[in-house]
Amino acid sequence: MIETTIAECADRYSILLLKKERTELDVDAELALYKEELDKYPTIWFSVAMLKIINGNIWSLEFDIRLGKENELGIEEVGRRAIKIREFNKERIDVKNHINKKYSQGFQEVKRDHASE
C-alpha cells in the first residue's frame, strides 16, 4: 500500500471543502477522515487555507470550460484561462512542496520542460 504525504492530504482536503461549498455532494465522511490526519499537524492550517484559495481559483477558471462552453468563451478567453490555471498550479505545487519540506515527507514536485517551471 502506498501512503500519501501530508501535502497531498492537505490538497485533497482543500478540494473537498470546495466540493462541499459549491456542490450538493456529501463529502462529510471523507472530510472528517482527512481532518483527523491534518489535526496531527497543528501548524498546517495556513497552508491548507492557501491551497483552498488556489484550488478555488483554478475551479472557477475551469468551470465554464468543463461545461463545454469553449465556443461561447472564445479561443482567446480559453487560452487566457489556461495560462492562469498553469500559474495557479505552479503556486499549488510550491505550497505542497513547502509542506513536504516542512514536515520532511515525500518528494519535491518538479515540472521539467514546462512553462511553469
Which pLDDT tens digit goes with each residue over 24-53? 999 999 999 999 999 999 999 999 999 999
* pLDDT score of 113: 54
CB contact set of 80 (below 8 Å; sequence gap of 6+): none
* pLDDT score of 116: 47
What are the residue boundaries of the structural domains of the chain, listed by start?
6-102
**Dihedral sign, Cα of residue 99, residue 45, residue 87, residue 9:** positive
